[in-house]
Structure 1
Amino acid sequence: MLLPRTPEEWQPLRMAQFLNGHLENVGKVVKKKLKKALAFKDLEREDSFVWPPREGGEGETVVTPFSYHYQPSVADFFIMAAMLPILPLRMLLAGIAILVAWLAAKAALYNMPPQVANAAPFTGWRHGCRVIILACARLLFFACAIQRIEYVGETKFQESAVAPVLICAPHVSYLDAFISGVMSIMPVMKAQAAKAPFFGPFLTALQPIYVDREIRESRTNTKDTLIKRCSDEKGVWPPVLIFPEGTTSNGQCLFKFKLGAFYPGQPIQMTSIEYRSCMSTWNPLIMAWDPAVPVWVSILYLFLQPHITARIHIQPVYHPSPEEREDPQLFAHNVQKQMSEYLDIPATDFTYENVREFLRARRAAKRKST
């Protein structure tokens, strides 16, 4: 597949052509949605949209950052077939990790009202339960074929007294959050995760900052809590883990960073996670909004991998200037730019809102074509 390399290749009608194949059959309403979903706000930043050269044969498809259309090759299927005898053992190991983490979470939250759970870091036996949960997260990593973790760049993560905010981008997989299994952090995550079966209790026991991005009041409360933990209580809490893009992509670019991580105006530890598989160009860990296979199939493929290496790129701590402390938008833009240069991928203005519009336009185009 050929990724867009110039601003011209990102034009909305070109994207619409990808979605439907025959743009002339798409109604005016669909065209309007497509234009709204795929238009850039800042096209004068041409350097942000220059993609690394990629060779593409005739008939290859132009894809968006929301798409991941690679599928297993014949050789990949043979490799996964050879791993079938190990599949029950890996699933059992994952089940044990989830069960033990759930029990430890129930113990940590015993007789503790929800409004008190995030009042202060756990201590004593409750902290011990949290350590068990983090160990189970690492065990789940292992069950999902990620047996090796490598560190690239800096030798270690900085303490929260130095960098109270840890950001991770690009956000490509549902397993990115399990970086908590290799260090003590407090994640920021969507409020719906607290209600997830089995996973909800032990996510809550990690004392995260929950946010419902559909409710303005929730976003405001999250901002206030984040500023309190990273400024007034700096060094008291472990670092706060934030995925500044606010959604997942195929990892070929950086979405526009949300401002939450930058409101406190504190130094930021930048990191990225890269998953290396022994498979072909296909990687089951990449979960874009327009994937080649359903999520449950991707999870099954994940358990059938012989070996995956997670490379955690620990980039230098970014210390904001006085101007950046006063302007979170400038702070976010500069951090995004520095991360894009380090990763050698474009920095774009795509947001979660664009993803929603993209999905609505895609569904409308499918209905129109049928």
Structure 2
Amino acid sequence: MESELEDMNPDPSKLHPLESQPEPAHDDASTKDDRPLLKSDANRMSSSESIEELEKKFAAFVRNDVYGTMGRGELPLVEKFLLGISLVTLLPIRVVLAMIILLFYYTICRICTLFSAPNRDEEEEQEDFAHMGGWRRDVIVRCGSFLSRAMLFLFGFCWIKETYRIVEQPQDKSFSQRSVAKLPLVGLISKCLGCVYVQRESKSSDFKGVAGLVTERVREAYQNRSAPTMMLFPEGTTTNGDFLLPFKTGAFLAGVPVLPVILRYPYQRFSPAWDSISGVRHVIFLLCQFINYIEVKRLPVYYPSQEEKDDPKLYACNVRRLMAREGDLVMSDIGLAEKRVYHAALNGNNSLPSVLHQKDD
């Protein structure tokens, strides 16, 4: 897993998802966000700025669990004891079983893609098996659904509380960073699931191309019920679960109905939400929890008005307001750029020369 801290590091060298009807979607593939990277008062951060002031300014990314800021807080004695037991029992068992599940599904995907050529878009560096049909697609989807639930159960998500008023949706496609396509095992699986790959630090022309591809596939999914649906995460990054960031417009450019979905992670000791903690530390602590919780709230399908179809920003804004109201979430006006600044400040970097100029996709 690639750490968000690596994404924001000055030295360059993983909800609220929206399912579209029949499309959900990850909104790294949206068009370029023209809003400023930072407000004027956040462009400079003095070394004397306290943690309390940072937490007020970047409240959406603050950890409020027992493990504290960046997962480096001073743990109570009981928590240290439980963590120690989990590190030598739960963690290795779960890692081994997770690798077995991953290898098994990779084998299924490899068999199903034998003698089949993937869809290729050389210009956008896209490659997938999303439009594979027949028994192959059926096996990939059904096995993927079962094994995904098995993996969640293995990670401690024994019960998933769902609240929804919709009919069952077809299989999904989603978004992932371009580097995921080159990962061992995961790369082929992501291609079989039809992921659209994006690059965070990329040229505007590349983003326009990806946005065009997204719009095309979303419309195809809406017009053809047999086509895979899409899943986008319109915030473009993650929070502590109490806030809703501004939506990118990529999920709304096609002007078709969307299915808003809200993910919540109730917790007692460790929060599964990925906010201001490194990827490796987050996964280790997550696997060391005996039980984890997740709540899924599916709202009714949102059908855009003609005005919203003509204005994707208005469409995105109205869906965001609906999700914030239904999910009892606080609307925040900060985003990925501010998250990078917060992470850099927590790591003792106050100059942030390259962080401030990185593209907020």
Calculate the TM-score normalised by the size of structure 2. Answer: 0.71
Pick aligned residue for 2:83 from 68, 71, 80: 80
d(CA) in 1 for partners of 2:113, 2:305 = 40
In the alignment, the residues of structure 2 paired with residue 325 and residue 192 of structure 1 have an alpha-carbon distance, to the nearest angstrom, of 32
Please say if 1:343 is aligned against 2:323.
no
* Counterpart Cα distance in 2 of 1:125 and 1:269: 27
Change in CA separation of 1:221 and 1:63 when aligned onto 2, cut-off 3 Å: same
- Alpha-carbon deviations, 1:56-80, whole Å to 9, x = none? xx99953512343644342333333
Q: Which amino acid in 1 is paired with 2:110?
A: K
Of structures 1 and 2, the one scoring higher in RCO (CA 8 A, sep 6+) is 2
* Distance apart, 1:141 and its partner CA: 1.0
Tell me the amino acid that sits aligned with residue 365 of structure 1: N
Q: Per-residue displacement from partner, 1:288-333 (whole Å, max 9, x unpaired)? A: 2x32xx3222212111211112211111211111100111010001
Query: Residue 220 of structure 2 contacts residue 227 of structure 2 at CA under 8 Å; is this kept in 1?
Result: no
Question: 2 CA distance for matches of 1:66 and 1:77?
Answer: 24
Q: Which amino acid aligns with 1:66?
A: F
Aligned to 1:189: 176
C-alpha distance after superposition, 1:119-163 (max 9, x if no partner): 6243223431342233222222112111111102x2445546xxx
Match of 2:123 in 1: none
**Matched residues in 1 for 2:102 and 2:244: separation?**
31
Which residue is 2:61 aligned to? 66
* C-alpha displacement of 1:276: 2.6
Residue 20 (structure 1) aligned to one of 47, 57, 65:
47
Q: What is the rounded CA distance, in whole Å, between the counterparts of 1:133 and 1:126 in structure 2?
A: 10
Q: 1:125 aligns with which of 123, 126, 136?
A: 136
The 3-state SS of whatever aligns with 1:241 is strand
Q: Closer, same or farther in 2 for the Cα pair 1:352/1:22, shift >3 Å?
A: closer
- Unmatched runs of 5 consecutive residues or more in structure 2: 1-37, 68-74, 121-127, 354-361
Contact 2:131 2:228 in 1 (8 A): no
Deviation digits for residues 161-196 of structure 1 (CA, Å, limit 9, x no counterpart): xxxxxxxxxxxxxxxxxxxxxxx2111222222122
Which of 238, 253, 265 aligns to 2:255? It is: 265
Q: RMSD value over aligned CA atoms?
A: 3.2
Q: 1:324 matched to which residue of 2? A: 308
Query: Which amino acid counterpart does residue 146 of structure 1 have in structure 2?
Result: F
Give 1:97 deviation, angstroms. Answer: 1.0
Residue number in structure 2 paired with 1:230: 218
Contact 1:187 1:242 (C-alpha < 8 Å) held by counterparts: yes
What 5-or-longer segments of structure 1 have no aligned partner?
1-9, 24-57, 161-183
Identity %: 21
Does the aligned pair in 1 maintain the 2:129–2:192 contact within 8 Å?
no
Aligned to 2:159: 148
Please give the per-residue CA displacement for 1:212-270, whole angstroms capped at 9, x wherever unaligned.
Answer: 34233432233233322332442232321000011122223211101110011111101
Cα distance, 1:243–1:128 mapped onto 2, change above 3 Å: same
* Aligned partner of residue 239 in structure 2, secondary structure: coil
2:174 maps to amino acid: P
Which residue of 2 is the match for residue 100 of structure 1?
104
Alignment-derived partner of residue 285 in structure 2: 301
Q: Which structure 2 residues correspond to residues 178-217 of structure 1 after superposition, within 5 A?
A: 184-213=171-200, 214-217=202-205
TM-score for both structures, normalised by structure 1:
0.69
| Residue identity matched to 1:21 | S
Q: 2:264 pairs with 274, 282, 290, which one?
A: 274
> Residues 334-370 of structure 1, C-alpha deviation per residue, up to 9 Å, x if partnerless?
11111111122222332334434555666641799xx
Answer whether contact 2:245 2:331 (CA < 8 A) is retained: yes
Matched, 1:89 2:93: yes
Correspondence for 1:32? none
Q: What is the SS of the residue equivalent to 1:276?
A: coil
1:221 equivalent in alignment to 2:216: no
User: Is this contact kept in 1: 2:259–2:300, CA < 8 A?
Assistant: yes
Moved more, 124-133 or 87-96: 124-133
**In 2, distance between residues paired with 1:126 and 1:103?**
14
1:53 corresponds to: none
